[in-house]
Amino acid sequence: MAEQHSEVDRFFVREQMVEAMPPPGVRRGAGDWFRRNLFSSVPNGIMTILALLFLAWSIPPLIQWAFIDAVWEGTNREACLGPDVGACWAFVKAKFGQFIYGRYPIGERWRVDLVFLLLAAGLVPMAIPSAPYKALNALFLLVIFPVAAFILLTGGFGLRVVPTEFWGGLLVTLVVAITGIVVSFPLGILLALGRRSKMPAVRLLSIAFIELWRGVPLITVLFMSSVMLPFFLPDGVSFDKLLRALIGVAFFSSAYMAEVVRGGLQAIPKGQYEAAAAMGLGYWPMMYLIILPQALKLVIPGIVNTFIGLFKDTSLVLIIGLFDLLGIVQFNFTDSNWATPQTAATGFAFAALVFWIFCFGMSRYSMFIERRLETGHKH
């Protein structure tokens, strides 16, 4: 073999250095994009065509139903009767107040609006990384807002008292979901740290808590809270139903969160702990500054998964007689004033859309954060 190599192959000294050149121009244009992304190979092309066929089959009827044949105006069922009627959006429009506030007294609904507004005012700047005053913002969201929301929603201080039985719709969904998220995130982190603690008592308690709540279905938790709890409480002492649901949901998702976070903690190399310890950092600064930022970043998909699961699980509060968004939509199907063949489909579509907007928003935001936290670290 070696003999066959020419002189040039065996002996080479570069005489001219190659200067750095810009990368070859990126080809642009629609045609090129289609070729690269949709028809790069035969199987790929077949999949593209099948997908297009599926869309052609499914999208037009959906548009027909949701927009073209849909009924937008009307005050009762008459509007939505007929052979070729699509979605009955008039129903959603008429019941919109209930879907958002439940049976919250109409004259007091501004209080709920104010709470939503305060929440948005706190959340939006918090979510934009470049917005200033993050510490103050967090203080507002985690301390001032909850207190203000509690007073505004339940009443007192001159405001009319509105018992939680009257709350409903999106209000209940958001109250349960947000409380669940705000409690389960820090509690989950503490439980995950506890489960890895060197102190046997802490570890044992954490494991017991996690396994207890993870081991029972949420429905059971909610049922027990409303059926069993009264047996243990003295007569006359009652525990607010919504509060029970809140605690149940928060603890339940904390257990899940703990396991997600623990997965992240386990992925952090031992060297990180050692480097931090060798500097003289104590346990909490080490966790706060070094370990958790990396561990949490790793498990963002899992965390958001848990949040989304929690958000959708709020619907289960229906079984203890609380009406979340889905519950109140379903409840309104029984209104004979709006009994039409399209009522249920439209109501479910509306509820699904609202849930989807929130969950998709969380998902997109988490992807944005993940990209932002990318630091070029290769494992």
Q: Which is nearer to another protein, 83 or 376 (CB)?
A: 376
Q: How far apart are CA 121 and CA 108, in angstroms?
A: 21
Stretch that binds another protein, among 22-30, 176-184, 248-256, 292-300 (CB under 8 A): 292-300
C-beta of 123: minimal distance to another protein in Å?
24
User: Per CB under 8 A, which of residues 359..378 are in contact with another protein?
Assistant: 373, 375-378
- 129 touching another protein, by CB under 8 A: no
C-beta of 125: minimal distance to another protein in Å?
23
Q: Are 97 and 107 in contact (CB under 8 A)?
A: no
- Binding to another protein by CB under 8 A, coded x per residue (else -) over 316-355, reads ----------------------------------------
Burial of 294 (0-12, 13-18, 19+ CB in 10 A): middle
C-beta of 278: minimal distance to another protein in Å?
4
Cα dihedral 143/147/152/156 (nearest 10): -160
Strand partners, 169: 324
Of the candidate residues 78, 113, 211, 274, the single one contacting another protein (CB under 8 A): 274
Q: How far apart are CA 363 and CA 354, in angstroms?
A: 14
User: Per CB under 8 A, which of residues 169..198 are in contact with another protein?
Assistant: none
Count of positions on this chain that bind another protein (CB under 8 A): 23
Which two tokens mark 261? 């976070």
∠ CA 357-359-360, nearest 5°, is 65
Stretch that binds another protein, among 2-10, 20-28, 287-295, 318-326 (CB under 8 A): 287-295
Q: How far apart are CA 325 and CA 316, in angstroms?
A: 11
Instruction: Find the length of the chain.
Output: 379
- 249 touching another protein, by CB under 8 A: no
- 267 touching another protein, by CB under 8 A: no
Question: What single letter denotes the amino acid at residue 345?
Answer: A
Q: How far apart are CA 62 and CA 58, in angstroms?
A: 7
Write out the residues near another protein by the rule CB under 8 A.
269, 271-272, 274-282, 285, 289-290, 293-294, 297, 373, 375-378
